[in-house]
Amino acid sequence: MEPTHSPAPNFLPADPLAILAAASPAGRTTAVLQWLEALPADARLALGATGDAYAVLDDVVLPGVRMPSADLSGAKARRADLRRAVLDGADLRGADLGGARLGRAGLATADLGGAELAATDLTGADLSKANLAKALCEEATFARAKLRFADLRGAACEQAKFPRADLWGADLTGAECGRADFRRAVLTEATARGSDFRGADLRGADLTRTDLCGADLTRADLRGAHVVGADLRGANLQHARLDGLDLTAVALDGVRLSGARLDGTRLEWHQFGERLGEEVAGDTEGARGGYLALERVFIALGDSAAASWAYLRRRRMQKRLAWQFARLRWTQGRPWSGFKAATAAAGDQGIEWLCDYGESIGRVLLSLGVVFVAFAALYGVTESVVRVGPGPNGGEVRQVTTSPSDLAIFSLLALTTSGSPVVALQPRDQFVHFLTGIQALFGISLTGLLGFVVGNRIRR
């Protein structure tokens, strides 16, 4: 909606906008100074856009000028020199200040909604509680500027410079800050939900209690940042520099971490919930990379339980990738390649069931129990065990037995390969000898696996 304004006060000429449009930069400067001199103490300069007409202030030189609460909405002040100008509470909605110099200017509570600030120099300016919603601030300089509680929602700040700027409590929700410079900036308690900080430089920034939920921090550099109490739930930290950070007091549920640099970073595995953000989003390859990075961090920290969790998640992602690759090869008409990938995936699945990739003692013991019970039942169904006893005339009597205790003893002896079965219990025929050999092979394999898993757990 175009702003509407009351008629200009009588101290201004009949058509000030036309005068400014026709004047040279020096003429514009002179005109504005004359109008300000004639301005009553309780009045404000009203040069807001009317219809298609707007104030042309390009290249004016007005350092230190005082225009508090001025109406300059829609004005064109490109390359204007407004250093140390007092524009507190001014209406600059939709104004074009591209390339202007506003160093140390007073713009507290000013309305710059939708303003053009590309390449504008706002070094040391006071923008406290200013409205910069949807402003275009590409390559603008806000070094050491005061932006406390400023509204930057939806602002375009790509490659903008905010070194040492004070953005305490500022609202950057949905702002686009790709490759922006926030070195040592104060973003304490700021809100930046869903904002784009891809490639941003946040080294040494104060992000204490900053809300970065869902923000995109891909390839951002956060080395040396203060992040206590920050909210990074659902944030994208892929390929970000997080070296040496203490993230133990940071909310990380659903965060994406594949490719992130985590050398010397402090983390706790319960911070991530059940799964990384890549896994939730279906990015299996990214999830595998993220879990690998976490596994290395937890090993370096000596946290065996966390390392085990990351390792198990990584192996599950690896298995899932193998199944995906197998399906892809089948759809591409390459069945042999698909069969090999499916075989590898099935092998991974079997290992998971058997011992949870070498991490579960309980699963190996359960597997031994299953083999013991299954073969005992098989011997009973096939009547494979005979009980040998003395006959009435001193000979031997062989009688098939299906007694649960006899079958259990026979199966246990075959499983543990403790020697030939006791004299009283014998295999019925050669086929049963073959079955006991198979069971003994399972027993040897599972016992060796049990030793490996126990040793793995002891080592960790």
pLDDT single digits (tens) 298-356: 999 989 889 989 999 999 999 988 888 888 888 888 888 888 878 887 888 888 778 87
Helical (H) or strand (E) element with 277? helix 277-280
Closest CA to 45 of 20, 80, 81: 20
Res. 419: pLDDT tops 70: no
d(CA 132, CA 148): 12
Rounded Cα distance between 66 and 45, Å, is 10
The Cα 193–Cα 196 span in angstroms is 9
Nearest CA among 106, 188, 122, 204 for reference residue 155: 122
Q: Tell me what pLDDT residue 83 has.
A: 98
136 beta partners: 116, 156
Instruction: Quote the pLDDT of residue 9.
Output: 53
Summarize pLDDT for 98-110 with one digit per residue, the tens: 999 999 999 999 9
Contacts of residue 198, Cβ cutoff 8 Å, sequence gap at least 6: 178, 179, 216, 217, 218, 219, 220
The pLDDT of residue 338 is 81
Which range has the worst mean pLDDT, 265-269, 284-288, 387-391? 387-391
pLDDT at 6 over 60: no
268/306 Cα distance (integer angstroms): 7
pLDDT mean over 27-48: 92
Predicted local confidence at residue 359, as pLDDT: 80
What per-residue confidence (pLDDT) applies to 179? 98
Q: Which residue has the tokens 């104030």?
A: 55
- Residues of the chain with pLDDT > 70, as a percent, come to 95
- Backbone phi and psi for residue 241, each to the nearest 5 degrees, phi listed first: -95, 110
pTM reported for the whole predicted model: 0.80
pLDDT of residue 97: 98
pLDDT at 137 over 90: yes
Which long-range contacts does 420-427 make (Cβ < 8 Å, 24+ apart)?
A: 423/388, 424/387, 424/388, 424/389, 425/385, 425/386, 425/387, 425/388, 425/401, 426/385, 426/386, 426/387, 426/388, 426/398, 427/384, 427/385, 427/386
Average pLDDT over residues 437-456: 85
Percentage of the residues of the chain whose pLDDT score is greater than 90:
65
- Cβ contact 80:56 at 8 Å: no
Q: Residue 395 — pLDDT band, cuts 50, 70, 90? A: low
Output the average pLDDT for the chain. Answer: 91
